[in-house]
Amino acid sequence: MVGNISLGEYNLIYNTFSFTFAVMAAATLFFWFCRDQVSNHYKIAITITGLVTFIAAYHYLQIFISFREAYTLKDGVVGATGYQFNDAYRYVDWLLTVPLLLIELILVMNLSREQTIKKSALLGLAAAIMVILGYPGEMSSEAGTRWFWWFLSMIPFVYIVYQLFFGLRGSINQQPEQAKSLISGACILTVIVWCFYPVVFILPMIGFEGGNAFTSLQVGYSIADIMAKAAFGFLIFAIAKRKSELENSH
């Protein structure tokens, strides 16, 4: 979905993409460098945390390049070049990163091998299906089609939210006291931030039009991605570090 955008919108989108790329790249380096700050059995979780922001950094760079190919700003006037702005990068990114985000959270809980595999597979699969079902809706500018896929995509979404609030309750209770609130915090952050996506998705269906809809979608998704990947990842790192310190002090 592309529309005519104003000068202000052009600059806002332009700077948002550059900013998001910088955040994701910086977060990746932080996670990978500080991997040596956690115990051995949390290193895979922190590696994946950095992979998520790495994959996001790659896609935001591509989105940024694609945007600069689709629009020009010359003599103060924004013009469309006719070249495609490739919106699919986001969905390709999410298909990879959203299951990994849930796996991060499960890995940092340090459950039994059996539980880890089972919960990772179920939540990871649900996340992938959620992203796949959202895509045909996003590609459409017709409200009916968007709503149809939105509803389908909300089924796995609700399942994941339910799991984060109730399914993982038992596992969270087994966590050390000093890490429990951080892990609950990570679950709550996930639910709150993830609720952003279906809301941003429906903006074009509830009155936002043309350049306005395009801008709010791009900026909205970027902010949500920063929260869901970089800020969430930092919380995962804090959990792993806190738990490592507790374990070492025994």
Which residues contact its own copies by CB under 8 A?
A: 11, 14-15, 18-19, 22-23, 25-26, 29-30, 32-37, 40, 43-44, 47-48, 50-51, 54-55, 58-59, 62, 72-76, 81-84, 86, 88-89, 92-93, 95-96
CB of 113 to its own copies, least distance (A): 9
Spatial distance between the Cα atoms of 129 and 95, rounded to a whole number of angstroms? 9
Please report, for residues 32, 151, 167, 190, 204, the alpha-carbon distance to residue 35 in angstroms, rounded to integers and kept in the order given: 5, 39, 28, 22, 41
CB of 81 or CB of 174, closer to its own copies: 81
Q: Which two tokens stand for residue 21?
A: 């790329």
Q: How far is the CB of 165 from its own copies (least distance, A)?
A: 26
- What distances in angstroms separate CA 239 from CA 46, 172, 203, 226, one per listed residue? 10, 12, 35, 19
Nearer Cβ to its own copies, position 71 or 168?
71
Q: Which is nearer to its own copies, 76 or 207 (CB)?
A: 76
Closest approach, Cβ 25 to its own copies, in A, equals 7
Closest CB 248 distance from its own copies, rounded Å: 11
Residues in the chain: 250
Distances (CA, A) of 196 to 4, 97, 103, 177, 217: 25, 16, 20, 30, 11
Q: How far is the CB of 153 from its own copies (least distance, A)?
A: 18
Q: Which is nearer to its own copies, 9 or 93 (CB)?
A: 93
For its own copies, the closer CB: 94 or 150: 94
Q: How near is the Cβ of 46 to its own copies at its closest, in Å?
A: 9
Question: 3-state DSSP helix/strand/coil percent for the chain, to nearest 5?
Answer: 85, 5, 15
**Structural tokens at position 168:** 């993982």
Q: How far is the CB of 47 from its own copies (least distance, A)?
A: 4
The tokens 């950094």 sit on which residue? 57
CB 237 within 8 A of CB 49: yes
Query: Six-digit token pair at 36?
Result: 């040596």
Residue 25: alpha-carbon gap to chain centroid? 14
Nearer to its own copies, 22 or 155 (CB): 22
- Which of residues 103 and 164 has its CB atom nearest to its own copies in the complex? 103
